[in-house]
Amino acid sequence: MMASSYKDEDGHISVSGTGAGAGSLPSKKPENTAFKQQRLPAWQPVLTAGTVLPAFFIIGLIFIPIGIGLYVTSNNIKEFEIDYTGLDPSSPCFNCSQNFSWNSTKPCTCSIPFYLEQPYESNVFMYYGLSNFYQNHRRYVKSRDDSQLNGNEESLRKPSKECEPYARHDNRPIAPCGAIANSMFNDTLELFYSDPNGTKTQIPLTATGIAWWTDKHVKFRNPGGNNDNLTAAFQGTTKPINWRRPAYELDSDPENNGFINEDFIVWMRTAALPTFRKLYRIIQRRNTMVPTLPRGNYTLEVVYNYPVRSFDGRKRMIFSTISWMGGKNPFLGIAYITVGSVCFLLGVILLFIHHKYDNRNNNPDISSN
């Protein structure tokens, strides 16, 4: 390399010095430091059957209990799912799904009766699920304007071009712009409990606490700051084409209206996979004595607004209880048990190998030393 050629030239300069040169030259002897001589003190581990063995057994012994714990936890979680897409003619929502039109002013409703075999204790989380819906499509994912959603006035008037073709409508900027917002899930789900004696009571659903706290309080902000008059703040914009109501009419509660509407925020967090569920409502537990959802007959009343038939999609409603590890997912527990067992098994195999081979290999060395 070039650097060394300077060395060369330097060398010549010193050679050209005549007479008493050699003695007065500073020694070019390299420094005897541990780093330069590659003799830094070091820990030199070697992976052998002997050293790895304990690790394998330890991993096995830790992973298997964790796995069993996870599996049991997952199994204790109750989950109930209803597909209300209405593809089957016998389904109550068949008519709604067949007669869907964007222009219809009259909402189509259908009600699905179902029976819960087990009572649901503690808080119950109500999700809606969509299948074959590509929220993770590149064109879709990027079709939003975070700056607009953060309350930026300029972006409100002039949405980012990422939002195209959902940026402007009728020469007015769309707020919120983009494909994600435009396709927000707008079915309304209501739950009724039918007493054994025949009375139907609506179960109260909590619509807050379903979005990330940071999203609701930092990332999403209404234009105009804390201005109470949202309608004025959205002045000059238009609602997304597919929406039935403008953003400022999403909810009557001002803390849950506009861009900080939690249904909207939940929808705006694009799902990772084409089959996904999103948190819709929470059924709070009110009385410690009574299960949140007792065993019995229920009716799910759906205002059917959201079309999925065109792309072979499915709509579901899910109840789930939640443990510390989230919803029902046996995968993690099974995976832990599997990996733990494999480690344990390998540990046994290595133990065998270690006894049979390692000693043999080491013997000559030890004797020679």
Task: Check binding of 179 to another protein (CB under 8 A).
Answer: yes
Closer CB to another protein, residue 140 or residue 192? 140
| CA–CA gap between residue 178 and residue 240 (Å, rounded) | 8
The least CB distance from residue 329 to another protein, in Å, is: 5
192 binds another protein (CB under 8 A): no
Residue 297, Ramachandran bin (φ over 0: left; ψ between -120 and 50: alpha; else beta): beta
Number of residues engaging another protein in binding (CB under 8 A)? 126
**Closer of 218 and 290 to another protein (Cβ):** 218
Residue 171 touches another protein, criterion: CB under 8 A: no
Ranges within 11-30 binding another protein (CB under 8 A): 12-13, 15-16, 18-23, 25, 27-30
Site residues (CB under 8 A) for another protein, limited to 24-63: 25, 27-32, 36-49, 52, 59, 63
Angle 112-114-119 (CA atoms, 0-180°, nearest 5)?
Answer: 140
Find the binder of another protein among 68, 279, 303, 351 (CB under 8 A).
Answer: 279
Cα–Cα dist 252/272, whole Å: 31
Any idea which residue has 């007015």 for tokens?
Answer: 172
Residues 78-117, interacting with another protein (CB under 8 A): none
Q: Are 328 and 77 in contact (CB under 8 A)?
A: yes
Smallest distance from another protein to CB 247, Å = 17
CB closer to another protein out of 9 and 117: 9
**Per-residue binding letters, 327-356, with another protein (x by CB under 8 A):** xxx-xx--xx--x--xx--x---x--xx--
| Cβ distance to another protein smaller for residue 30 or 196 | 30
Binder of another protein out of 85, 97, 182, 256 (CB under 8 A): 182
Nearer to another protein, 152 or 194 (CB): 152
End-to-end Cα distance, the chain: 42
Nearest to 125 by CA among 322, 273, 257: 322
Token look-up 């049979």 returns 356
Work out which of 57, 94, 192, 212 binds another protein, going by CB under 8 A. Answer: 212
User: Which segment (6-14, 199-207, 284-292, 296-304) binds another protein by CB under 8 A?
Assistant: 6-14
Amino acid at 307: P
Site for another protein in 110-149 (CB under 8 A): 123, 125, 127, 129, 133-147
- CA distance linking residue 158 with residue 145, whole number of Å: 10
With tokens 């527990």, the residue in question is: 333
Supply the angle between the helices 330-353 and 49-76 in degrees, to the nearest 10. Answer: 160
Query: How many CB atoms are located within 10 Å of the residue 202 CB?
Result: 11
Q: Rg of the chain over CA atoms, in angstroms? A: 33
